[in-house]
Amino acid sequence: MTLPSSSRFVIIGAGIHGLSTAWHLAVELRESGQGSGADIVIVDKTGVGAGASGIACGVIRNNYFQPAMRELMAHSVGVWDSDPEAFSYHPVGYMQISHEGMHSDVASIYEQQQAIGYDSTFVEGEAECMTYMQGIFHDWQAKGITSVLHEHRGGYANNMDSLKGLLAKAESEGVNIVSGVTHDGFERNASGAVTAVVTDQGTVECEHVVVATGPWVQSQWAMLGLPEVTPVLGADGETHDMPTWVYWCLQEGTLEVEPTYLVDNEGNMPPVVHIDTDAPLYDDEGLVTEGPWGIYYKPDFNFGGVQGGYMPYIVDKPGSQVAVDPYGPESPDFVVGADFHRTWTAALAFCQSRFEGKNHLISHEPSGGIGSFTPDSFPVFDVFSENVYFIADSNHGYKMIGVGALVAKELMGEPQRLLEPFRYSRYAEGKLHPVSNSPYPWS
């Protein structure tokens, strides 16, 4: 499709957030009689799912220590549940398996899940946890586990297939999607509001802009002259200047076995497994890590094996804050390699005996990617420059398919309670989300 010279709404990015927002916004416009999908254009420099959404692990979960995240995820799981076939969604459930250092955190998550009616089972005690896990996997052998939170909702989705499902829904509403368009800047009026989006294929006049560019969000942030450093009011009562955006390397990979190699005791596809522990980790060569450490894994026909990941790490690269294209020529420096392969396969064997001696089956295809994180590692959903809505997911993105529905309502002038805790103003006000004892920055 040719890029239009004007559009009421311009959405930058054709990943999970851009497509979901466009689809839901088109429905809102049609049902309210205030327009249609023809009033919306999505532009993407490559195409649907070319970035982070297209290579996401695809895990769908509600397992968050932060109440605001838990409510938002419950809403998103509801959207996944609304059309599993279109979204290529597998509602197999999700398990948070933890050591004693996380016991109280996970107990709190369970209690709050019950308070919002989210179906889950909580198991406590080392012997009880072993019995429960062996009731699912006969070869479960992880030691030192004192709590298991089994979410009976959630699971995982096949990333590109789910994006195709969203694309079909957006296109059925008449949304315009234009690929191969590079966003170069904004035109603004005297008050600072954006009047047009500038691209390499022309300028599009508009009333509203939605930035849904995932790891590239820093580019649009910089184009608007927004701050590279964010003052954060800490629990100590002092204000600390922190980088607004930090890159983390996301470590994921695939064990090249048949996906059916990981089934439960009944031969069915099991829940997604996530384990956090402080137990020393060994392999045939000796000590791998003393912990704490955590991995997640699942069978996946899309990736062709048992697929999952390990803890991310901060990318320390001069100039990376704004300039680096996370999936461009510079990104191979950050792709996971031997350390990840050794740790992840050793951790699989720590959990289940079926994975012992299988470390040589790890795929050596380039994997992982770059995530763009906020000062507290949680999303920012807010309007800047009067009419530019940023969906800055801080790498929580793919599972949050329901954010688009809420953003669409806000674009229609209806503030959404679930998005209020994620305004940028929370940093200056010290309204930060609580921090758990998980080794992951987003848990």
**282 has pLDDT over 70:** yes
**394 has pLDDT over 70:** yes
Strands 147-151 and 94-98: antiparallel
Mean pLDDT check: name the lowest of 5-9, 77-81, 392-396, 439-443: 439-443
| pLDDT band for position 334 (cuts 50, 70, 90) | very low
Could you tell me which of 296, 396, 320, 406 has the C-alpha nearest to residue 20?
406
Mean pLDDT check: name the lowest of 114-128, 246-260, 351-365, 429-443: 429-443
**51 has pLDDT over 90:** no
Mean pLDDT check: name the lowest of 28-42, 71-85, 224-238, 292-306: 292-306
Tell me the pLDDT tens digit for each residue of 68-96: 998 999 999 999 999 999 999 999 999 99
Average pLDDT on 346-369 reads 90
Which pLDDT value is given to residue 434?
A: 81
| Count of CB atoms situated within 10 Å of the CB of 413 | 7
H-type alpha helices, 332-402? 338-351
Question: Is 426 in contact with 253 (CB distance < 8 Å)?
Answer: no
| pLDDT band for position 249 (cuts 50, 70, 90) | confident
Q: What is the residue-averaged pLDDT of the chain?
A: 91
Residue 133 token pair: 């896990």
**329 has pLDDT over 70:** no
Residue 45 token pair: 């420099």
CA distances from 209 to 59, 170, 185, 205 (A): 29, 17, 12, 10
Tell me the pLDDT tens digit for each residue of 304-319: 899 999 988 887 643 4
**6 has pLDDT over 50:** yes
Main-chain dihedrals φ then ψ at residue 226, nearest 5 degrees: -80, 160
**DSSP-assigned letter for residue 216:** G
**Domains of the chain: residue spans and CATH:** 1-90+155-231+377-443 (3.50.50.60)
Cα distance between residue 433 and residue 236, in whole Å: 15
Which strand ranges, in their side-by-side order, compose the sheet holding 176-179?
176-179, 40-44, 9-12, 208-211, 388-392, 380-384
**37 has pLDDT over 90:** yes
Residue 330 token pair: 């510079």
| Count of CB atoms situated within 10 Å of the CB of 434 | 12
Strands 286-289 and 281-283: antiparallel
SS3 112: helix
Average pLDDT on 210-232 reads 95
Average pLDDT on 283-306 reads 91
CA distances from 311 to 252, 336, 343, 355, 401 (A): 9, 11, 10, 20, 23
Which pLDDT value is given to residue 436?
A: 72
